[in-house]
Amino acid sequence: MDDNMSLMDRLNERYPKFSKGQKRIADFIRENYDLAASYTASKLGKEVGVSESTVVRFAYELDYDGYPELLKAIAATVRTHSTSIQRLETAYKRSEEKEDLVSSILNADRARLKETIAAVDVEKFNKAVDLIVNADSIYILGVRGTWYIAGWLGYYFRMIFDKVYVLEGNDSIDTLEQISRIKSNDCFIGISFPRYSRRTRTAMELAKNHGAKTIAITDSVQSPLYEHADYPLIVKSDVMAIVDSLTAPVSLINALIVAVCMREKDSLTDRLHVLEELWDQYKVYDDHVIE
């Protein structure tokens, strides 16, 4: 079985061959994956009326390396498929079990950072930096929640490069029109996390068809951006109630900006001299300090 196959695809493919007990497990996961994501094997077994060992064997039947791997797949399904209402309900149930909400949120962000550090592909990261530095034009797209971090990336890249376009993601046709002139020596950077944006995937596919090189900043090899990316940069995200936790993605983008700055140090220094004079002339920053 393809390691990149989603949990739902695995359930659908294997379902006809499941035993009655396995079908009950599969049905519960498909209908209540948001709840199942926090269940132990024992609790899931009691919920559907089978033994804990049956649940564990079910995980192996789906070609996962045990129940913890199945839980990870269920969690990925929650991130990808859950509606905002389901996310809110799940977060509320979990918050009732925790007295210190702020610490739990910060610890969750810290865990995503650790996972990203362990999983980051340094070779692909460096090749992405090479692509950005050598591109004629850079197009950046993130929609909905990721629009803000796309703007963050574009803000700093505009200090370094002449032709940087942060695409407006309000309308799919407008987005495609904005990249209709993208060329083979241009770079397209798409940013998307669950629930994935169809608009970003379509735009990246169009850029690829025009011969442009593509970078995806996303969370998984199962992301729809992955197959259209020359250099996919995998970074862990999470869902907290209705909020997409983008702490790790912002850190990766910061690393990308700094790496590009180091490569373009001489030209960037000249640009910063001009900008500093401009900022000083027009009093952009407040020098007043409270003593």
Same domain, 123 and 66: no
Residue 54 placed within a domain: yes
Helices (H), the chain: 7-14, 20-36, 41-48, 52-61, 67-81, 84-95, 101-119, 122-134, 147-160, 172-178, 198-209, 247-263, 265-281
Same domain, 131 and 253: yes
Residue 95 placed within a domain: no
Same domain, 170 and 39: no
Q: Determine the pLDDT at residue 56.
A: 95
The predicted-structure confidence for 242-264, as pLDDT tens digits, reads as follows: 567 789 999 999 999 999 999 99
Residues 198, 208: contact at Cβ < 8 Å?
no
Same domain, 64 and 120: no
How would DSSP label each residue in 152-197?
HHHHHHHHH-S-EEE---S-HHHHHHHTTT--TT-EEEEE--SSPP
Tokens of 40: 């132990």
Same domain, 24 and 143: no
Q: Which residue has the higher pLDDT, 217 or 73?
A: 217
Residue 86 placed within a domain: no
Average pLDDT on 118-132 reads 95
What's the sign of the alpha-carbon dihedral 68, 72, 77, 79?
positive
Kindly indicate the confidence band of residue 34, based on its pLDDT and cuts at 50, 70 and 90: confident
Residue 242 placed within a domain: yes
Residue 235 placed within a domain: yes
Residue 218 placed within a domain: yes
Same domain, 147 and 18: no
Q: Which residue has the higher pLDDT, 240 or 40?
A: 40
User: For position 204, which CATH number holds?
Assistant: 3.40.50.10490
pLDDT at 95 over 70: no
Residue 105 placed within a domain: no
Same domain, 154 and 213: yes
pLDDT at 290 over 80: no
Q: Determine the pLDDT at residue 5.
A: 78
pLDDT at 206 over 90: yes
Query: What is the rounded radius of gyration, in angstroms, for the C-alpha atoms of the chain?
Result: 22
Same domain, 120 and 214: yes
The predicted-structure confidence for 96-117, as pLDDT tens digits, reads as follows: 555 577 887 788 889 889 989 9
Q: What is the pTM of this model?
A: 0.73
Q: Which of 235, 231, 228, 237 is nearest to 203 (CA)?
A: 228
Domain range for 41 is: 7-81
Residue 180 placed within a domain: yes
Q: Which of 226, 231, 200, 228 is nearest to 215 (CA)?
A: 231
Same domain, 35 and 127: no
User: For position 76, which CATH number holds?
Assistant: 1.10.10.10
Same domain, 125 and 245: yes
What's the sign of the alpha-carbon dihedral 93, 72, 104, 218?
negative
Residues 25, 48: contact at Cβ < 8 Å?
yes
Rounded-to-integer distance, Cα 229 and Cα 239, Å: 24
- The number of domains in the chain is 2
Kindly indicate the confidence band of residue 32, based on its pLDDT and cuts at 50, 70 and 90: confident
The predicted-structure confidence for 139-155, as pLDDT tens digits, reads as follows: 999 998 899 899 999 99
Kindly indicate the confidence band of residue 235, based on its pLDDT and cuts at 50, 70 and 90: very high
Same domain, 127 and 236: yes
pLDDT at 37 over 90: no
Q: Which residue has the higher pLDDT, 28 or 169?
A: 28
Same domain, 132 and 64: no
The predicted-structure confidence for 3-26, as pLDDT tens digits, reads as follows: 667 898 899 999 999 999 999 999
Average pLDDT on 85-97 reads 58
Residues 249, 120: contact at Cβ < 8 Å?
no
